Structure 1
Amino acid sequence: MNGSQPATDLTTVLAADHRQLDRLCTELELGQGSPENRKDLADHLIAEVVRHTVAEESFLDGGDRDLAEADRLMRQLEGAGPQEPRFERLLGGLIRAVRRHVRGEGPEAVRQVRLACSPERRSELGEQVVAARDAAATLPHPDLADRMPQADQLWPGPGFVDRARAALCPPDDGARSASG
């Protein structure tokens, strides 16, 4: 890799998250697809924001106002149907909060990790984030819904944000600190 950071370096993982969140926001801003398809894409954005937030919160001190605003909007959005007028209003607010994070606090968080952690620690933390994501339940493809017990699905709807967060944050995981 000749001096470049490994794919599991936490700064690389977080920066890749920012690019993915930005792409999802752009796709939603294009406004294409049926309301149901937009709801599915919004649910995907919510799942990605939760995953990213958990990764940043787990290893950084202090809060991010934009991610806190996104969390508030995601909780409201999870109860809104795609045909409801408030759906697009809430989705627009979520996109704006995510964009502010991606362009403001997000890069600062990456810089904080770079300054606070050795390359070895960043690699270790990045591996932990990737492993947590791989182990967490994800949204099943709609075609699997009739073949997978509901208890095993991380389905969208009321409580989706909390279920996604719980899947990514096992109790007493001991990985809540960037020091080490």
Structure 2
Amino acid sequence: MNRSQPATDLTTVLDGDHRELDRLCTELELGQGSPENRKDLADHLISALVRHAVAEEPYLGDGGDLAEADGLMRQLEGAGPQEPRFERLLGGLIRAVRRHVRDEGPDAVGRIRLGDSAARREELGREVLDARKAAARLPHPGLADRMPQADQLRPGPGFVDRVRAAFVPSAGGTGSPG
């Protein structure tokens, strides 16, 4: 029938995420741009990684590279691009992301392929993509009365939690394998 999986198949979505995360890591490893531009790119990596983690975590065991990356992302939130610890933390994040893309991610994708029917994978993939699309429009419920909607997904303290919260409520059905 299909020679390739539809773009909405969860495994296709996750594989695309892995390629994008790898590309962002490569761009950061090149070390080009001003510290502020590097901070912006790091924030873009964090946002992409959180979106990816929300979709993939249910298929991973506890801990691992995504858990390590989560801790590093939270530390990076409070680090200015001029601080020496910024590059150290960013390097650790890049290493954790690379390990995930190389090891954990493909294992999770393989488990999904084996454990879920093509129809279920397509349904889950659509839910993930719909949640990502809706998250750009939904204000964080805990911030709506204190922060303008346009500012809710801006980097800064609490950025990882705000990005995660933007995806988790909408993606409620995407997290259960099987």
**Is the structural similarity TM-score above 0.5?**
yes
Q: One-letter code of the match for 1:152?
A: A
Aligned to 1:9: 9
- CA–CA distance in structure 2, aligned partners of residues 64 and 109 of structure 1: 14
* Partner residue in 2 for 1:130: 129
**3-state DSSP of counterpart to 2:172:** coil
Residue-by-residue CA offset, 1:50-93 (whole Å, 9 max, x unaligned): 00000102x42523510000000000001100000000000000
Q: Deviation digits for residues 9-68 of structure 1, max 9, x if unmatched?
A: 0010000000000000000000000000000000000000000000102x4252351000
TM score, norm. by length of structure 2: 0.89
Q: Cα deviation per residue 1:115-135 (whole Å; 9 max; x = unaligned)?
A: 110000000000001111111
- Aligned pair count reads 168
Given the superposition, is the C-alpha separation of residues 44 and 61 from structure 1 closer, same or farther in structure 2, using an over 3 Å criterion? closer
Name the Cα RMSD after superposition.
Answer: 1.8
Q: Tell me what 2:83 maps to.
A: 84
**Aligned equivalent of 1:141:** none
User: Is 1:150 matched up with 2:148?
Assistant: yes
The aligned runs of 1:49-128 (5 Å cut-off) are: 49-57=49-57, 59-60=58-59, 62-128=61-127
Counterpart residue identity of residue 28, structure 2: L
**1:151-166 alignment runs, 5 A limit:** 151-153=149-151, 154-166=153-165
Query: 1:171, 1:48 → 2: CA distance?
Result: 16
Paired amino acid for 2:49: V
**What are structure 1's unaligned runs of at least 5 residues?**
139-148
Q: Gaps (5+ residues) in structure 2? A: 138-146
Structure 1: 4+ residue segments shifted above 4 A: none
The equivalent residue for 1:22 is 22
1:35 and 2:35 are equivalent in the alignment: yes
Q: Is the 8 A contact 1:64 1:105 kept in 2?
A: no
Aligned partners of 1:62, 1:9: CA distance in 2, in Å?
A: 22
Q: Percent identity?
A: 72
1:174 deviates by 3.9
